[in-house]
């Protein structure tokens, strides 16, 4: 009896060990496939491909869109070359549907869509508003612009596009020491509830220093810091955002997207032209890879998204945008200096929205 018992116990332990190994592998595979699912539609990676000349672009004229800020309106501020407007994105493994604003309005009838983030979210929100407006130019719209919350409503369809400005996603609060970036707090999230589609974005402001820095101190729990490694701070803040999504979003009612990291082109060494910046650039880089590789912030986004319980679709626009050194406002905007961070409208953000459209309908 003792020997039989020992054999039975050993067999049981071996079975359980194999079961646990398969379970761990399944979990790992599930996490990996969930992340890949956020980048692919119907087996097609929409974000791996190349830029091709397309005479049918742009999708609208800046002079005909009432929603474009001067900082993105390059044609208005003197940019005379227009070849940068004549490119479309072609994925390697499929064709994406051409954007159809009227179709999108019908699909979104009665829906509320909100962009949440910084000025790159603003770039994308204005782009989508212009693309839809160009499809139904005679449709009545209601336009509201405020500091933190702006909106465009296409009245006949009951579709509202919101823009909620919050550069870090987590809160900046006033304390005795000054403005504090609280890595563990999202009080602003109450304004994001009840939406049918949410498109989040953050990173651009995390790297700002000096006078352009948006805070005086960083709070992480009970600890207060004068500074912190910016990637570490971004990871902590984005993890807080991921918990908010997991706790507050019902996937049957709200679809969530993350816009991905939008690159800058201030340093030509990133594309093997050390003396250059975006200023004067007129054509994209050829091919489908960027010499400098992906920015470290993109790895942070991938890591946080892969650990989430609720589905978030990653609009992985980083590499395709890195290839577009020609598409920034540069000196052709309302502001002073050279802007190699934001994007001209019409321009690259129109492609981001075309890929959003493809992700929704394919």
Write out the catalytic residue numbers: 119, 339, 342
Contacts 24+ apart (CB under 8 A), 299-302: 300/231, 300/234, 300/235, 300/238, 301/203, 301/238, 301/258, 301/260, 301/261, 302/35
Tokens of 95: 């064709």
Q: How far apart are CA 56 and CA 76, in angstroms?
A: 21
Tokens of 78: 């003197």
**H/E element holding 17?**
helix 2-37
Strand partners, 112: 160
Q: SS3 for 177?
A: coil
The secondary structure of 33-83 as a DSSP string is HHHHHTTEETTEETTSEEEEE-TT--SS-GGG-TT--GGG-TTTTT----G
The answer to whether 345 and 130 have CB atoms below 8 angstroms apart is yes
In the chain the beta strands, taken as DSSP E runs, fall at: 40-41, 44-45, 49-53, 87-91, 112-117, 141-144, 149-154, 159-165, 171-175, 178-182, 197-200, 217-220, 223-225, 255-258, 313-314
Q: How far apart are CA 191 and CA 151, in angstroms?
A: 13
Q: How far apart are CA 179 and CA 255, in angstroms?
A: 33
Treating both helix axes as pointing N-terminal to C-terminal, what angle do 348-361 and 119-135 enclose, rounded to 10 degrees? 70
């Amino acid at each position: 009896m003792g020997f039989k018992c020992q054999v039975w116990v050993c067999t049981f332990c071996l079975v359980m060990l194999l079961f646990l190994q398969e379970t761990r592998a399944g979990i790992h595979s599930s996490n990996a496939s969930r992340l890949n699912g956020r980048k692919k539609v119907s087996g097609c990676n929409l974000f791996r491909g190349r830029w091709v000349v397309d005479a049918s672009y742009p999708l609208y004229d800046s002079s005909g869109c009432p929603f474009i800020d001067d900082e993105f309106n390059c044609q208005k501020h003197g940019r005379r070359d227009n070849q940068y407007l004549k490119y479309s994105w072609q994925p390697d493994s499929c064709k994406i549907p051409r954007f159809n604003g009227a179709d999108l309005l019908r699909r979104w009838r009665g829906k509320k869509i909100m962009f949440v983030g910084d000025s790159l979210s603003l770039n994308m929100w204005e782009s989508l508003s212009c693309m839809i407006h160009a499809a139904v130019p005679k449709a009545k719209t209601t336009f509201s612009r405020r500091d933190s919350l702006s909106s465009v409503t296409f009245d006949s369809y009951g579709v509202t596009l919101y823009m909620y400005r919050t550069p870090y996603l987590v809160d900046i609060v006033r304390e005795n020491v000054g403005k504090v970036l609280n890595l563990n707090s999202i009080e602003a999230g109450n304004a994001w509830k009840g939406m049918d589609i949410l498109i989040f974005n953050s990173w651009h402001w995390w790297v700002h220093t000096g006078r352009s820095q948006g805070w005086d101190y960083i709070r992480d729990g009970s600890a207060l810091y004068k500074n912190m490694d910016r990637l570490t701070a971004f990871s902590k803040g984005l993890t807080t955002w991921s918990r908010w999504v997991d706790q507050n979003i019902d996937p049957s009612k709200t679809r969530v997207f993350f816009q991905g990291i939008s690159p800058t082109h201030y340093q030509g060494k990133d594309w093997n032209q050390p003396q250059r910046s975006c200023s004067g650039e007129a054509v994209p880089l050829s091919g489908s890879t960027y010499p400098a590789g992906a920015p470290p912030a993109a790895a942070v986004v991938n890591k946080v998204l892969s650990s989430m319980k609720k589905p978030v679709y990653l609009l992985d626009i980083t590499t395709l945008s890195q290839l577009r050194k020609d598409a920034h406002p540069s000196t052709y905007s309302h502001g002073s200096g050279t802007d190699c961070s934001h994007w001209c409208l019409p321009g690259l953000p129109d492609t981001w929205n075309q890929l959003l459209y493809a992700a929704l309908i394919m």
